[in-house]
Amino acid sequence: MTGSFRFGTPQILFGLAVAILVIFVAVPVLLIFFNALWVNGSLNIADMVKVLSERETYKALINSLILASGVTVTGTIVGTFFAWLVTRTDLPYKGAMKVLFLVPFMLPSFIGALAWKMLLSPRSGYINRFFIETLGFPGPIFDIYTYQGIILVETMYLFPFVFIQVCGALERMDPTLEESARISGADLFTITRKITIPLVAPSILSGALLIMLYSMAHFGTVAMLGIEAGIYNIPTLIYERIHQSAGSFAAIRTGTVLSTVLVIAAALIIWLQNRVLSKGRYQIIAGKSFRPTEIRLRGLRLPLLAFCIAYIGFTIVLPTTTIFLVGGLKTYGLPIAVENMTFDNYHHILFEWDLTRDAIWNSIGLGLAAALITMFAGVIISYVIVKMKVPGKGMLEFLGMLPFSVPGSVIALGVILAWSGKYGVNIYNTIWIILVAYIARYMAFALKANSAALEQVHDSLVEAARASGATMWQALRDIVIPLVRPGMVAAFFLIFLPALRELTVSVLLYGPTTRTIGVAIYTLNEDGETVYAAAMAGVALIIIVTAEVVVKRVFKIEK
Amino acid sequence: MSYLKLDAIDKRFGNVAAVSGLNLEVAPGECVAMLGPSGCGKTTTLRMVAGFEDIDGGEIRAGDKVLSSKAKNYYLPPEKRDFGMVFQAFAVWPHLSVFENIAFPLRIRKLPADEIRRRVDEALRHTNLTALADSRPDDLSGGGKQRIALARALAIRPKVMLLDEPLSSLDPHFREEMRFEIKDIQRRLGFSILYVTHDQSEAMALSDRILVMKQGVVQQIGSPRDVYYRPANRFVFSFIGLSSFLRVRFTGGRMQVDDLALPFDAVDEAPAELVGVGEGVLAVRPSDVDFVDEGGLRGTVRRRSSLGEIVDYQIAVGSQTLRVQKTRHEPGPQVGETCGVRFAMSNWYPLTDASEG
Amino acid sequence: MTSVRIDGLSKSFGGRKILHDLDLTVEAGESFTLLGPSGCGKTVLMRLLAGFDRPDAGTIRIGDRLVAGDGADVPPDRRGLGMVFQDYAVWPHMSVADNVAYPLKIARTAADERDRRTRRAIGQVGLAGLEARMPSQLSGGQQQRVALARALVSEPSLLLLDEPLNNLDANLREEMRFEIRELQQKLGITVIYVTHDQEIALAIADRIGVMDETGRLRQVGTPDDVFDRPIDAFVYRFLGVANFVPMRRVGATWLFPDGAAVWPGEAPGLAGEHATFGCRPFDIELARDGDGLAGVVRRASFLGAQMDYLIEAGGVTFRAATDSRRALDPAQRFEEGETCRLAFRGSQWFDTAVADIEGGAR
């Protein structure tokens, strides 16, 4: 489709798109690199290396790697196993299981970490106390403040990455690929081994890489469970340094150096993931509607069902119940019994305490604002990238996708560097700096959702409108916008929901009156107000789940 | 003894009878095509033979071995049936080389390595793939992939090959080539073929017998000439080849199309049984209609399209339309002219034929 | 009713020249078909006509109006034409009626006139009663008709059709092509139709323009012209199945590739020593004996209305076809392995330089 605008409309749109991306995305990231690599006005890599070889920084790097690798391995195994179980066997209640396995995705993992803390902290965790006091064990059966503990909790909330990808691949796979193996003489287990798994390997790998990426960039769980034991990863070390020194130059420097490493690692992973998906992915999508034959589990049917239910109970029901129960305790540490329960905590945080009340409204406001702004910006930029033939749009695409490989902590840091007064605008410690960070962080999602929707609008649809007598603007109004609207709505919710429960970014940017829900929970926990933290977490869960359900309803209507 | 016997096969999906009372025997070396519109049950039947669906009635045997039996509640899984099968979308494994694709069934059967090598080479030769043994399937075109699928099915030296619309995903000009390649291989190796297709010219070109199905019920089983010249009912007539229909009234010892007289010598035979009923449908193939200068059924040429070697006429006969096709070498009238037509071969059907219901 | 005049049109894409100095005139009220292989540039030409791309050189006139070239660049929405795309381009979020009415809505036609014309267009394509349906509820053929109705509703003087029947199944294709032809004749619109399918072209065109893969027009003429009097072997081969046989002249006789068999008919008046002779399957007459070319039947297939033969004769393999009715007579039915005699009741001779020396059936 030609840019058949007259005078400068394409240029205006293009300029706008570039401006948005440069100001919000490129500048913060560039400043990070600049700060890390330039010392006193000149390029200095040696100094960077020096910072990295300090004992604590070095350890943080290694820990990030260890934790991420551990979570990736366990998460991949768990995710693949459940995906196979739910799509290829005759497990009962498969449909329900599929939905339930996706629930962890909805729950913020730091809330999960909080719950597990309350259950398995070595001295005061309820499970440990039960084993010691009631069953007479000598010591705690599991100490959550360990590498294993962190990996355990992260796995529970990250395995859906692999689960979703593998489920999708297995469901879309052409069943005749397996049928031809059957007719060639192979039984169902041989087929799974030699045909099915190798063919979905790219999806498995892709999901695994996503787990790795998220784990490396993750703040919440490691902060909740690792700081106690001195286990720091990159985001938590950055946080600690900056917080302790109230933003000193040295701390920021450590932060930017670590960020650079993180960004490079993340970029590497994204690149790998793209290659795996594009080259490794075989054309195995089915056309016909015959479904693949199920493997009969026979004797294993009920035990495996029990296992799945136990898993779901363990990873979803147990922590959630704990959160709500502890949130209702009069004081932390009291045994859970009716006489120790009260609604006062919930009442307090919702209606009386402005710290928590503000946090809730801040998060909702920030979520809505960020979602709206990125939705509209996303449409404009996507349109330029997908539909317009202007030189330099490759650069736009790159800038737009940049935030994917820039972890939250890095964006927060970059935003601090950019908007703390050095360049004229000082919004540090205000709600605006968090908003700006959110826009940067979530722009990539908006672009992806809108691009996908725009690509569905074939050029011939617009050309048919032109041939029917419509000008370019009329065609946009009558054809493109209505067809892209579902994509825009999807983008909105793709951003609103994560923004609601976000922690990694806002924890580096909050001020006394600008806490978010995540920050409120975290700081309450840090200050030892465990019961209030739990109550806040409970409220957060309710808000998040309600929002998710509303979104699903809205989507059903839209469709 | 037949290689494949389907005995009173029934299959239901919910309340819908997908296949009803199907009987078929495939002799050694015979190629039988199952033909019909989509949803007629031909693919379901093939899948029942292959073992991917179980049966709700009847029995399937290969030689003297029972494969599926409803009465005995017996079902042999697909991996034990020793058929060669080729699927519509090729189903060639992209992560294995051409050689490994073909060797797969042999490895499963745990044949010794040199025997595997020999058989794969043989299959490669039959399908002209010897030079591409180490390539990846995605490097080959659709036709190449189909050959891999064929070679893989041949490797186990099956007695019966099951082909599920194997050519419909290929380029039109390639389809013809592959048709005859499959036929040649069949002649050389002597296996039977059970073939599913919706393309009737393919069925005609390839098969010894054609089984025409509609909504799960077999309409006719016969050789290509049988189903073309002696169709069992109106559905088979219109499904195979081109057709044109005229409503004819029988009054006072004469035949009439609307107000026009249809002379008795214009048809090859008049149907005694329909004369008593009063009306019927004359069904003809456009290529079986001849132009006559005098006599015959009179009509006017409404449209004359030169389609290259064939000339297609639309003749208005009263309020009805007749389609005629001739080769360009044969003379014919121009648009607007009146003409007479004679039906060299005609089929008669009652006004409401159950098969068209 | 408008004519279309294209003068010296050239267009390149990415360094490759697609159209070279093309000249073409389509008369008012004519049904003109551009026939050519995929990638030959016919779609590029359509898009230039519609105004979605600008030519590098040359001019386009619709009626008397200069719409492209020589400084003019009338946008698509002002060229007054109707267009049907290969993928139908029916808007999924609008009903059938809304789709068809859109051009009139843009033109701000009064509501009752708009409704009347919309209903009429929908009726013309045989979709009466389906006005409220959404495209997702329609079959491919029905969507194609919606696209056609939409293109016709504004009563354009020129209709462009870009391979609109490609995605339909064979039966529907046959039906629709005659329908389009009838509609065109009834409404008297000028139609330019682009396709690679020679059967469609032959069925619906007043004149056909045959393009080759380099974007050049090889021949323009009526269907009978291009089929019976092809200007070269490319056109001959593109218009249908063809046998090509390389022939060599010795003295006054022409020899087949086996060096022995002699061309049985009248010698063509060609000068050189080499030539290619082409014939169609139905041009070949088979006989048991006589003085035709001796041959052996390699394959005989019954295809319903015709018998399809592969015959080895004169050192070359011929594809022959006969009316299957004749084959009912055992004397006229040839089986595999039998000998026969070939006579050619139609043939086309070409200079060697133009034809590929493939020899034999395609």
Asked if B327's CB is within 8 angstroms of C302's CB, the reply is no
| Statement: residue C307 has pLDDT above 50 | yes
Q: Which chains touch C (3 or more CB pairs under 8 A)?
A: A, B
Closest partner CB to A184 (pick from B47, B94, B105): B105
Alpha helices in C81-110 (DSSP H): 96-106
Mean pLDDT of A318-327: 89
Q: How far is CA A146 from each of CA A65, A119, A222, A227, C228, rounded to the nearest angstrom?
A: 15, 14, 10, 10, 88
CB-closest option in B205, B303, B308 to C303? B205
Mutation target vs A (from C77, C104, C153; most A CBs, 10 A cutoff): C77
Give the separation between CA C99 and CA C89, rounded to whole angstroms.
Answer: 10
Q: Are residues A491 and A357 in the same domain?
A: yes
In sequence order, which residues have a C-beta less than 8 Å from that of residue B51 and are 6 or more positions away?
A182, A183, B67, B68, B75, B76, B77, B78, B81
Beta bridge partners of C293: C342
SS3 content of chain B, % helix, strand, coil (to 5): 30, 35, 35
Q: How far is CA C27 from the centre of its chain?
A: 18
Choice among A389-393, B19-23, C205-209, C358-362 with the minimum mean pLDDT:
C358-362
Across the A:C interface, residue pairs with CB atoms under 8 Å apart total 67
Residue C353 has pLDDT above 60, yes or no: no
Co-location of A247 and A358 in the same domain: no
The CATH superfamily label for domain C4-233 reads P-loop containing nucleotide triphosphate hydrolases (3.40.50.300)
- A353-364 pLDDT, tens per residue? 888 889 999 999
Q: Give the pLDDT confidence score for residue B351 in this predicted structure.
A: 78
Convert B230-246 to b/e letters by CB count within 10 Å (16 or more is b): ebbbbbbbbbbbbbbbb
Picking from B223, B173, B166, the residue whose alpha carbon sits closest to that of residue B198 is B166
- Which of A42-46, B136-140, B240-244, C87-91 shows the lowest mean pLDDT across its residues? A42-46
For residue C187, the model assigns a pLDDT of 85
- Picking from A458, A467, A471, the nearest residue to C81 by CB comes out as A467
Taking only Cα atoms into account, the Rg of chain C, rounded to an integer number of angstroms, comes to 25
Residue B66's pLDDT is 93
How much is the average pLDDT of C152-179? 84
Query: Does pLDDT of A43 surpass 90?
Result: no
Which contiguous run of DSSP H or E holds residue C300? strand C293-302
Q: Of A303, A327, A351, which one is at a domain's C-terminal end?
A: A327
The pLDDT of residue A279 is above 70: no
Q: Note whether B83 contacts A: Cβ–Cβ < 8 A.
A: yes
Helices (H) and strands (E) in chain C, counts: 8, 21
d(CA A77, nearest CA chain B) in Å: 22
B61's tokens: 């045997």
pLDDT of amino acid C359:
35
Measured between alpha carbons, how far is A172 from B245 in angstroms, rounded to an integer?
A: 45
Backbone angles phi, psi at B55, to 5 degrees: -105, 150
Q: What percent of chain B shows pLDDT beyond 70?
A: 98
Select, from the ranges A51-55, A270-274, C89-93, the one with the highest average predicted confidence (pLDDT).
C89-93
Closest residue in B to A178 (Cα) is B91
A187 closest CB neighbour out of B50, B51, B79: B79
Which of A461, A464, A474 lies nearest to residue C83, judging by beta carbons?
Answer: A464
Least trusted range by pLDDT, from A541-550, B47-56, B62-71: A541-550
Task: Taking residues B8-37, report their average pLDDT.
Answer: 93
> Residue C341: which pLDDT band, with cuts at 50, 70 and 90?
very high
C109 φ/ψ sector (left φ>0, alpha ψ -120 to 50, else beta): beta
If you average pLDDT over residues C277-306, what whole number do you get? Answer: 90
Residue to substitute from C54, C83, C91, C108, interface A, most A β-carbons within 10 A = C91
Residue of chain C whose alpha carbon sits nearest to that of A1: C52
Residues of B in contact with C181 (CB under 8 A): 305
Identify the pLDDT of residue B1: 56
With bands split at pLDDT 50, 70 and 90, how would you rate the model's confidence at B2? low
Compute the distance between CA of residue C230 and CA of residue C212 in angstroms, rounded to an integer.
13
Judged against a pLDDT cut of 90, whether residue A70 lies above it is answered with yes
CATH topology of B4-235 equal to that of B243-349? no
Q: Answer whether A255's CB lies under 8 Å from A242's CB.
A: yes
Give the β-pairing of B192-197 and B160-164: parallel
Average pLDDT (B93-112) is 93
Mean pLDDT across C306-324: 91
Q: Search chain B and give the residue with CA nearest A198.
A: B95
Per residue in A507-519, is it b (16+ CB within 10 Å) or e — as a string? Answer: bbbbeeebbbbbb
pLDDT exceeds 50 at position A3: no
At C233 the pLDDT is 87
CB pair distance less than 8 Å for B91 and A198: no
The domain defined by B243-349 carries CATH number 2.40.50.140: yes
Cα B237 from Cα A119, distance rounded (Å): 77
Which residues from B are below 8 Å from C224, CB to CB?
Answer: 306
Mutation target among C243, C280, C284 for the B interface, most CBs of B within 10 A: C280
> Per the CB < 8 Å rule, is B79 touching A174?
no
Q: Give domain status of residue A159, yes or no.
A: yes
> pLDDT averaged over chain A?
85
Q: How many domains does chain A have?
A: 2
Q: Which of A184, A204, A276 has the most B C-beta neighbours within 10 Å, making it the best mutation to test the interface with B?
A: A184
pLDDT at A1: 40
Residues A387 and A509 occupy one common structural domain: yes
Sorted by where each begins, the domain ranges of chain C are: 4-233, 241-358
Within a domain: A49: no
CA distance B1 to B276: 46
Q: Say yes or no: ipTM exceeds 0.95.
A: no
Which residues lie below 8 Å from residue B190, measured CB to CB, with a gap of 6+?
A: B28, B29
Chains with 3+ CB–CB pairs under 8 A to A are B, C
**pLDDT tens digits for C3-47?**
999 999 999 988 888 999 999 999 999 999 999 988 788 889 999
Please tell me whether residues A27 and A61 are part of one structural domain.
Answer: no
CB contact under 8 A, C89 and A482: no
**Closest in A458, A469, A478 to C77, CB measured:** A469
Q: Which of residues 419-458 of A touch C (CB under 8 A)?
A: 458
**Residues of chain C neighbouring A479 (CB-CB closer than 8 A):** 91
**What residue in B sits closest to C177 (Cα-Cα)?**
B305
| Structural domain of A145 | 54-327
pLDDT digit string, tens, across residues B307-322:
889 999 999 999 999 9
Averaged pLDDT, A264-289:
72
Chains contacting B (3 or more CB pairs within 8 Å):
A, C
Task: Output the pLDDT for position B347.
Answer: 86
* Out of B77, B91, B94, closest to residue A176 by CB: B91
Indicate whether A558 pLDDT > 70: no
CA A52 to chain centre: 27
Last-in-domain residue among A327, A355, A388: A327
The more confident residue out of B353 and A315 is A315
For testing contact with chain B, the best of C175, C176, C198, C199 (most B CBs within 10 A): C199
Q: Check which CATH number belongs to the domain holding A233 and give it.
A: 1.10.3720.10
Nearest CA in chain C to B223: C302
Partner-chain contact C77 A470, CB within 8 Å: yes
Q: A481-500 and A431-456 helices cross at what angle (nearest 10)? A: 140
| pLDDT of the residue at C361 | 33
Does B308 contact C198 at a Cβ distance shorter than 8 Å?
yes
pLDDT at B169 (0 to 100): 78
Which DSSP string corresponds to A107-155? S-HHHHHHHHHHHH-TTT-HHHHIIIIIT--SS-S--SSSHHHHHHHHH
By the CB < 8 Å criterion, does B52 face chain A? yes
pLDDT of residue A2 exceeding 90 = no
Residue C220: strand pairing partners: C209
Quick one: which of B201, B139, B143 has its CA closest to B167?
B143
Which band of pLDDT confidence, cut at 50, 70 and 90, is reported for residue A141? confident
Contact residues of B toward C, CB < 8 A: 180, 200-201, 204-205, 224-225, 228, 240-242, 285-288, 303, 305-309, 312, 325, 327-329, 344-345
Residue A334 lies in a domain: no
What's the confidence (pLDDT) of residue B355? 63
- Dump pLDDT digits (tens) for B230-277: 899 899 998 888 899 999 988 877 888 888 888 888 888 877 777 777
Between B177 and A119, residue with greater pLDDT: A119
Q: How confident is the model at residue A7 (pLDDT cuts 50, 70, 90)?
A: very low
| Closest listed residue to residue C342, CA positions, set C294, C281, C282, C301 | C294
Mean pLDDT in chain C?
88
Contacts of A474 in chain C (CB under 8 A): 106
Q: Which residues contact A303 (CB under 8 A, 6 or more apart)?
A: none
Query: What pLDDT is recorded for position A5?
Result: 45
**Nearest chain A CA: its distance from B56 CA (Å):** 18
DSSP A195: I
- Domain match, A80 and A199 both: yes
Q: Where are the domains of chain B?
A: 4-235, 243-349
Closest Cα in chain C, distance from residue B35 (Å)? 15
Contact C103 A469 (CB under 8 A): yes
Judged by CB atoms within 8 Å, which residues 128-147 of B form the interface with A? 138
CB-CB under 8 Å, C77 with A467: yes
Closest chain C residue to A461 measured between Cα atoms? C89
**Least reliable range by pLDDT among A246-260, C37-51, C233-247, C338-352:** A246-260
| CA pair distance C344, B329, nearest whole angstrom | 11
A88 pLDDT band (50/70/90 cuts)? Answer: confident
CA distances from A481 to A20, A487, A558 (A): 21, 10, 14
CATH number at C241-358? 2.40.50.140
Question: Which of A301, A327, A353 is at the close of a domain?
Answer: A327
pLDDT band, very low/low/confident/very high, at C161 (cuts 50, 70, 90): very high
Architecture of domain B4-235 in CATH?
A: 3-Layer(aba) Sandwich (3.40)
If you average pLDDT over residues A116-141, what whole number do you get? 85
Same domain, A392 and A523: yes
Q: Which of A320, A286, A291, A290 is nearest to A94 (CA)?
A: A291
Lowest mean pLDDT among A392-396, A527-531, C35-39: A392-396
Size of interface B-C (CB pairs under 8 A): 66
Relative orientation angle of helices A408-419 and A249-275, to the nearest 10 degrees: 130
